[in-house]
Structure 1
């Protein structure tokens, strides 16, 4: 864990989760559920669901009408540069790629636009270690 990860969690309240899964056994569902249980607002982004975790699901980041502090990504590394560009467009303050996901191009896009960036770390683990709740 690094200081950036902890700072992002302290500074964020609203998390848009790209790739939030409808399957409770997958980490792409259980991790956002844990963040929601810790008091974060989780906004699901998934092209094939209408409601997840009791929240309306959006097809893309650009469809979300509310301000988003952080974009959390549960998609293959190859898809993350496009997500990074969209995170920049919607004015997110941070981009977080989950454990096992990394992209030099996504990092460059995010950091050049001034977003904080974390990759290859589980948000729920960092939250648990730091004890951060909302």
Structure 2
């Protein structure tokens, strides 16, 4: 799957400007992990982030209560996935079944079958990208 299968920049920018409520799957409490840094970035830019990690459920990461699964995260707009490509299919399916408007697979994470299914269900699917990189690349601002 190539970059061309992602939505146009304008669509990604509009999604990020909305600051959707995000479930961050694969959240880590280790500051050296990419998911920790992305979660911090999203929180600093006004996103409501729910960390999802069954091994850390009930704990707190960056002031946010960790839940075990997407169903426990409450109403979601976007699911940001930090998992291996081959493990993303069930997460993507659950995300759109729970009503997520967008599913975001992090850098290096691509799942063509999951993308086709998500798009068929009407969900926005972004792969092999990172919101913490896209925000400055798209010259987005914190001011309204």
Question: Normalized against structure 1, the TM-score is what?
Answer: 0.92
The CA RMSD over aligned residues, in Å, is 1.5
2:106 paired with 1:94: no
Aligned to 2:5: none
Tell me if the contact between 2:52 and 2:68 (Cα under 8 Å) persists in the aligned partners.
yes
Q: Where does residue 128 of structure 2 map in the other structure? A: 120
- CA displacement 1:19-75 (0-9 Å, x = unmatched): 01111111111011111111111110001112111111111101123x111000000
- Could you list the runs of 5+ residues in structure 2 that have no partner in the other structure? 1-7
CA contact (8 A) 2:118 2:124 kept: yes
User: Partners in 2 of 1:132 and 1:92 — Cα distance?
Assistant: 24
Runs of 4+ in 1 over 3 A off after TM superposition: none
Instruction: Please identify the structure whose Cα radius of gyration is greater.
Output: 2
Q: Indicate the residue corresponding to 2:71 in structure 1.
A: 62
Take 1:7 and 1:60, find their aligned partners in 2: how far apart are those partners?
27
Q: Which residue of 1 aligns with 2:55?
A: 48
- Partners of 2:121 and 2:130 in 1: CA distance: 23
Unaligned runs of 5+ in 1: none
| Contact 1:74–1:97, Cα closer than 8 Å, also in 2 | yes
CA contact (8 A) 2:19 2:46 kept: no
Q: In the alignment, what sits opposite 2:43?
A: 36
User: In the comparison of the two structures, how many residue pairs are matched?
Assistant: 133
CA distance in 2, matches of 1:132, 1:76: 31
1:132, CA displacement in angstroms? 4.1
